[in-house]
Amino acid sequence: MRILVTGKNGQLGKSINKIVNTDNGKNNYQQDNKFIFVGREELDLSSESGINHYFDNNDKFDIIINCAAYTQVDKAEQEVELANQINHLAVKQLASIASKQKAKLIHISTDYVFDGDSNKPYLETDKPNPINVYGKTKLAGEKALQEIMPTNAMIIRTSWVYSEYGNNFVKTMLNLGKERDELNVVSDQIGSPTYATDLAGAILEIIDNKDKKQSTEIYHYSNEGEISWYDFAKEIFELVDIRCAVKPITTQQYPTPARRPKNTLMNKAKIAKTFSVGISDWKESLNTCITILKEQ
Ligand SMILES: NC(=O)c1ccc[n+]([C@@H]2O[C@H](COP(=O)([O-])OP(=O)(O)OC[C@H]3O[C@@H](n4cnc5c(N)ncnc54)[C@H](OP(=O)(O)O)[C@@H]3O)[C@@H](O)[C@H]2O)c1
């Protein structure tokens, strides 16, 4: 199969690449398939003509995994048009292209499609109600995809993604923890972190042999556990033995340009049951990532 992965320089794109290319022969992803990883240099999602140009000049794909996105939640409040182009209009165009090529489209979305006012983990069937521009553009992308591809696509919503790559909460905490004696971290936003390598592994398992579903479905995927950013920071410092005091603060005490949902826990039973995908506990996966970061 020819498999296109967008967002090659992002956390998820790099994590897929890591597994595909360094799996010690445990899984023969490269032997059975040809993976093509592209970044904005090859496939610029900010322009309709750029997208058409790429697909007009390349052979057809069997699977497209869309890991690229406009992910700067606060900046999106200002750059509405650009965020909408990448998270919505480009996804719509990718869906049309995938549909014409009869390619399967695996698209990644976010817990921020929800308003966070629920007091129980969100199901795929719960009504989305995004409260910031990023969430609104991601939801518009989901809807456009579902309309164009009622079959042969998959939307995986994930949350609080971190990895050894790029910028993320774990790396920010490690850097700040070394510089400061004390840090204030929000304790009234609840969710589950996702180690990008775990999500990458789940996607590869699904495409490897388990996806027999024809209808386009939404799935939720994160690590197991229910924590606040404050709990997350405390555990990070504990694992690396950084002596930085973490103080809990409220969202109100830490204003940001984009509003954040309070509770974005997601129920993962559907993906686990449909594809027999194992879901690791957040502490276990954080430990794995921190071990890798320590070795770097
Ligand atoms: N990060 C999170 O906490 C989080 C939470 C929930 C859901 N998600 C979703 O998970 C998916 C993967 O996220 P991630 O954490 O891997 O994001 P990421 O690290 O920010 O990577 C996103 C990638 O998209 C690329 N991109 C941005 N604009 C582009 C354009 N115009 N053309 C082509 N590529 C472009 C970026 O390229 P450059 O490297 O060149 O900038 C970047 O490599 C996304 O769909 C995101 O919405 C993420």
SS3 52: helix
Q: Which helix (H) or strand (E) holds 245?
A: strand 245-249
Q: Inform me whether the pLDDT recorded for 27 exceeds 90.
A: no
In the predicted model, what is the mean pLDDT of the chain?
95
Is position 134 annotated as part of the catalytic site? yes
SS3 6: strand
- HSE-up (13 A, CA, CB side) for residue 44: 8
Task: Name which of 292, 261, 250 is nearest 118 in CA terms.
Answer: 261
Q: Please, are residues 121 and 129 in contact by the beta-carbon 8 Å criterion?
A: no
pLDDT tier at 32 (50, 70, 90 boundaries)? confident
pLDDT tier at 64 (50, 70, 90 boundaries)? very high
Ligand 1 atom with least separation from CA of 166: 19
From 44, 49, 52, 67, the mutation candidate for ligand 1 (largest count of ligand atoms within 8 A of CB) is 67
- Between 243 and 161, name the one with better pLDDT: 161
Task: Name which of 99, 61, 110 is nearest 216 in CA terms.
Answer: 99
Report pLDDT digits (tens) over 201-253: 999 999 976 556 689 999 999 999 999 999 999 999 999 988 899 999 999 99
Ligand 1 atom with least separation from CA of 50: 32
**C-alpha distances in angstroms, 294 versus 17, 22, 274?**
21, 19, 35
From 6, 71, 171, the mutation candidate for ligand 1 (largest count of ligand atoms within 8 A of CB) is 71
Ligand 1 atom with least separation from CA of 163: 15
The proportion of the chain whose per-residue pLDDT surpasses 90, expressed as a percent, equals: 91
Q: Please, are residues 154 and 123 in contact by the beta-carbon 8 Å criterion?
A: no
Q: Please, are residues 60 and 2 in contact by the beta-carbon 8 Å criterion?
A: yes
Report pLDDT digits (tens) over 93-126: 999 999 999 999 999 999 999 999 999 999 999 9
Alpha carbon of 66 to ligand 1 centroid (Å):
9
Q: Please tell me the least confidently modeled range out of 33-37, 42-46, 212-216.
A: 212-216
The proportion of the chain whose per-residue pLDDT surpasses 70, expressed as a percent, equals: 96
pLDDT of 213 reads 62
pLDDT of 31 reads 72
Q: Inform me whether the pLDDT recorded for 24 exceeds 60.
A: no
As for ligand 1, residues whose beta carbon falls within 6 Å of it are: 7, 9-12, 39-40, 43-46, 67-71, 86, 108, 110-111, 138, 158-161, 166
| Predicted model pTM | 0.96
Q: Inform me whether the pLDDT recorded for 26 exceeds 80.
A: no
Q: Please tell me the least confidently modeled range out of 12-26, 138-152, 183-197, 268-282.
A: 12-26
Unique residue bearing structure tokens 């553009």: 137
Q: Where are the alpha helices (DSSP H) in 36-126?
A: 48-56, 80-84, 90-101
* Count of helix runs (H) and strand runs (E) in the chain: 11, 12
Q: How many CB atoms lie within 10 A of CB 97?
A: 20
Residue owning the nearest CA to atom 34 of ligand 1:
40
pLDDT tier at 23 (50, 70, 90 boundaries)? low
Residue owning the nearest CA to atom 19 of ligand 1:
10
Unique residue bearing structure tokens 């920071």: 233
